[in-house]
Amino acid sequence: MNTYSSTLRTILFNASEPLKAISEADFAVKPAPHKWSKKEILGHLIDSAYNNHQRFLRAEAQGDLVFQGYNQDEWVLKNNYQNRYAEQLHIMWYSVNFHMSYMIAGLSDKLLQEETTQHNFHRICMNRIPEGQPTTLGYLVWDYLFHMEHHLSQISSDYEKIVVSHDKMV
């Protein structure tokens, strides 16, 4: 198991109980009409998992790190996360990410650390890398974990971040 995989599993472990402790009513509250509820934020993390799982799998075969993006707001609406049970969303989020942790564990260090300037991380990452600047698949995995922790902190003030540090990962 590599550091990324074990970090993902630690995040899942740390977030599980705090998510279960949030009431269905609290999960459904929208802070403003155009803002996501906690259900929708967790749904967004499910969509992110599906998209990034495919990116991580395709990276080696395609020979670059240019990946398709997606319309996050549209996906949250189309998946109707607001009208789903919080427990169902929690189980799905946990399952998809636990499954992904096994795939990430199988990514070779060579693949994770191989640098390329052929990427679109200036478009798809939370922590954007300028176009043409060298980066790695490991950076994309790190950014995925950082993104997840950012949103988990929005959902639960009881979530204890593990402070995903890029220096510790690569």
- pTM, two decimal places: 0.93
What φ, ψ does residue 122 adopt, rounded to 5°? -75, -10
Nearest to 51 by CA among 96, 8, 6, 82: 96
Determine the pLDDT at residue 160: 78
Residue 32 tokens, joined: 């403003």
- Residue 42 tokens, joined: 């967790």
Question: 98 is written with which tokens?
Answer: 């636990």
pLDDT at residue number 168: 47
Radius of gyration of the chain (CA): 16
First to last CA, the chain: 14
Domain that holds residue 146: 3-169
Contact of 52 with 144, CB cutoff 8 Å: yes
Tokens 């590599």 found at: 2
Contact 14, 158 (CB under 8 A): no
Q: How many residues does the chain have?
A: 170
Number of compact structural domains in the chain: 1
Q: For the domain that residue 30 is a member of, what is the CATH number?
A: 1.20.120.450
Burial code (b: 16+ CB inside 10 Å, e: under 16) for 11-50 equals bbebbeeebeebeeeebbeeeeeeebbbbbbbbbbbbbbe
Q: What is the pLDDT of residue 104?
A: 98
Q: Alpha carbon 30 to chain centroid distance?
A: 21
pLDDT, tens only, 139-166: 999 999 999 999 999 999 888 776 555 5
pLDDT value for 1: 72
Residues of the chain with pLDDT under 50: 168, 170
Neighbours of 59 (CB within 10 A): 22
